[in-house]
Amino acid sequence: MDFKEDDCDIYYIEIEKNLKKKENEENLVNYCINPDSQIKEEDRIMIINWFFWLQNNQQINDNCIYLSIKYLDTFLSIYNENYYNLDILKVTCFFIAQKLETTYVFCITDLIKLISNKCNKDDIIDHENFLLKKFNYFIFMVTINDFLHFFLKNIKKINFEEITEEYFYLCFFLSDISVYNCNFISTKPSLLSSTIIYIVNIITKKENLWNKSFQKITSYSVEDLKTTTQIFFQFLEFFDDQYFILLNTKYSEKLKNFTNVISYINNLKIK
């Protein structure tokens, strides 16, 4: 079934424009490849692991985790000079994000306990002010999660029989994997989320991998997705199995074919 204007919400076009305007205002870089950077790829991975550990243990929603990661990458894209206290940084990113994205807000004392009392209350408050100034107080940033929800919601209206709950969870599973790849830090969220949907279509063996509906809703052609798809598959080939432990906790019950998905990824490694 092809896309028709009437199939969309009346506000679809304006919402998409607003999301893409926000992402175009952002200018993130892959700071991990900078030889002078104080933050290396393994440091970033450790922080992301902590965010997902926190989500699994404290029932934090996806929006909060993705926004925390976005604050981390935005800050380190702007400021990467002799920054040594990663514990304070990750807690502060989460501290700001939770105020926007959760119903329950951790107090500073609780957060300090989560990092074994490695800082005090003043440290968090000082870093919050420091980050907010670096962000110019622009904290309503757009993430992969925003675009993925937005695209999938509208794709489902047109391809409602094909876009199942399983399909949704598989998209978000790959989205979680994608944040580990520092090469995607500078990738536009709309492009990365579109790539994820395209890859899920490949994994689930959709007859039409990218029809006019997908292209119309995302504004990306198959050719636009080619490079990011290649990077994603290359990354999957070398994705460390240890991260599946964290993601398994989150998705093993939601994804009925979770084992098959892991097998698919492991087969890529063999190839």
**CA distances to 22, 26, 197, 241 from 138, in Å:** 10, 10, 29, 36
- pLDDT confidence of residue 111: 87
pLDDT digits (tens, 9 = 90+) for 159-216: 656 678 888 888 999 999 999 999 999 999 999 999 999 999 988 887 788 988 899 8
- pLDDT confidence of residue 172: 92
**CA distances to 27, 87, 210, 226, 242 from 264, in Å:** 34, 35, 21, 20, 16
- pLDDT confidence of residue 1: 33
Residues of the chain with pLDDT under 50: 1-7
Burial class (CB in 10 A: 0-12, 13-18, 19+), 41: middle
Global pTM value: 0.87
- pLDDT confidence of residue 21: 83
Sequence-ordered list of residues with C-beta below 8 angstroms from that of 93, at least 6 positions apart, any chain: 68, 69, 71, 72, 75, 131
Sequence-ordered list of residues with C-beta below 8 angstroms from that of 253, at least 6 positions apart, any chain: none
Alpha-carbon distance of 184 to 28, in angstroms, equals 10
- pLDDT confidence of residue 161: 63
Alpha-carbon distance of 95 to 80, in angstroms, equals 20
In the chain, what are the domains? 26-134 (1.10.472.10), 143-270 (1.10.472)
